[in-house]
Structure 1
Amino acid sequence: MTSTPPPVTSSPGRDWRAPAAACTTVLLWASAFVSIRSAGEAYSPGALALGRLLAGSLTLGAILLLRREGLPSRAAWPGIIGSGLLWFGLYMVVLNWGEQQVDAGTAAMIVNIGPILMALLGARLLGESLPRRLLAGMGVSFAGAVVVGLSMSGHGGSSVLGVLLCLLAALSYAGGVVIQKPALRHGSPLQITTFGCLIGTAACLPFSGVLASEAAHAPLSATLNMVYLGVFPTALAFTTWAYALARTTAGRMGATTYAVPALVVLMSWVLLDEVPALLTVGGGLLCLAGVAVSRTRGRRGGTSGGREVAVKAPAAEAEQVAADRP
């Protein structure tokens, strides 16, 4: 059964929902870095990705059945398959693998190229505008990510393979988001996320034997962290991400994720008793300042009624109008 969600209608009283969804995503993705540290000690990259995706798929599938949303329309499937393979599948495996090959600082700097690529791809392929405030905010946030990365470097070795894997993770992350964006016009965030997660799970099935073997010997804490990664940073956070992405541009959503490094520093301090250096704190504050700049809108020239204006092709303009609905 195919079930297409009703069109999104404007309602001033609901304007808070998209920012709240974006904040939920950022908080849960930040918490994922803490959980990955624990689970990654007992599970290899492919097994960890598969276990996380299995937990996420089961959670999302159950919610989809309870809500009786059914299948998205046929037009949504190219975006679902593309984002499922690139973002849910490839990204999770290569990021887990890359972080085993390079130190945390190097990984953070390289992966944070992703939001910049996202904005550029969104402008090129989706006709999205690139306001000066967005570009300025991303520049400030990326500088903060570099500072955080430099402050964390030196706690492990780096390899050419690890750098290439982290770069591939950034590319697959950005590509997956841009591919997912058009699909959200033809299905609900829950539908797009659920079936994208299922596609990623299917792509990671070759790691099922390794997962079964490692699960038999892994400590309970590592397995619980893997399940947590699937239920919250995957099932919940990817759904709230899709909800917010359907209501703004890929570039603006990408800029929002620059708050993640600052939150990771804070969570590591509170949960892992890892006291950050002053340089790390400064970098985190730069990340947050850049996000604040990127989320503001100019008064004239770049906005109209609170919305960004750009000269676009008719198809891209129609897509942006639909995406800007609250």
Structure 2
Amino acid sequence: MKLSGPVSLVLLLVLTGVCAAYLTVGVLDLDPRRTTNTVTVLMDSSGGLMQTSQVDLRGMRIGRVRAITATGTGLAVRLELDAKYRVPIGSEVRVSNLSAAGEQFMDFRPTGMAGPYLTDGSVVPARQVRVATTVSEALAKLDVLNAQIDPAKIERLAAILSQGYAGREREIATLTKALTMTAQLLHDKRDAITRLYLNGQALAENFDGYGPVIGGWAADFTEVLPEAVHLIKSFQGYSYAGEQVWDEPLGPLVQKIDQYLAVLGPDLAHIATALRPSTSVLKPVRVDAGSIIDLLSAVFPGNGTARVTLDVPK
């Protein structure tokens, strides 16, 4: 069915109005039903913000930047915020990159939701604003850093490292194995190491307050140290003197005496053989040590006076 000209024109006008309303509300974010608050944020630098940059509340979109004007001390950024969102006036304001392409946005990050809140006409001071490094600034700093690097020095450094690793494959493998075993040890003995650390903390806490006492020993150690050093040096000198005396005068003398005794001394084995018949009769003799102790205890009872008992003959 073919529509007539007036009907087609009306439908075209309706479609145009719908598209215009969508572009106004959805794209341009101009909703006539919404109430907004105009807030001014003072900044030292724009950080890449534009008049259409997005404004968020911890990542949630709440408004846009509408104007950026210069002041005597920096910039004044005028924001249009949705009035239904309550933003604490002491919130930190960060200007960060929205994406890797370098699109900047402003994000309010309150530490709590307690008031007072931003209202129409509120001013956020510059001390609450944190501006992140922009992509252009990072690239400029990277370019300056690259300009300071000498390719010849880098090449020499790489050659030195290559020479240092050449022929050291076995040592590197051993080092890698040692590091792996150390990591395994730390993993397996984690509880023991934790206990050792806690015991060390407890020991340090127990020593708390003894610092002045130990520090008072410094004067005593200072006085004793020279005498101790003198004593050690004296012992060292005596050891050297004794070593020379024993090795030179006494050593040969003792050796000579031993040689003379070996020549002049009788054969003890023959003497023992000759005395065996006379000493054999002494084998049955037994000494009763207990009886001797009892006798001495009776004679000397312990009061300092000796006591003697006599048997009177009948």
TM-score, with normalisation over the residues of structure 1?
A: 0.16
TM-score, with normalisation over the residues of structure 2?
A: 0.17
Q: Which has the larger radius of gyration?
A: 2
Which has the bigger relative contact order, CA under 8 A and spacing at least 6?
1
- Which protein is richer in helix relative to its size? 1
- Which protein is richer in strand relative to its size? 2
